[in-house]
Structure 1
Amino acid sequence: MDAKARARLGQEMKSLGYRKRGSSYFRISAGGLYAIISVQKSAWDSVEYLNFGYAEGASAESGWIPESRCQVRFRLDAVRGVDARLMALMSTEGLSASNSDSLVEELLDAISPFLEVDDWAGLRAVIDERISDSRLFVHRDVRRFLGLGLPE
Structure 2
Amino acid sequence: MSKLSLEELASLDVLQAAYISALDGKAMKAWLDTFDDDPDASYICTARNDVECGLKVAMMLDDCRDRLIDRCTFIEDIWAGTFQDYRTRHFSQRVTAERREDGSVAMSSNFSVIFTPDDTGLPQQLATGTYEDIIRMDGGRCRFLSRTAVTDNSVLPRYLVFPL
When normalised by structure 1's length, the TM-score is 0.34
Task: Flag the structure with higher strand content.
Answer: 2
Alignment TM-score, normalising by the size of structure 2: 0.32
Higher-helix-fraction structure: 1
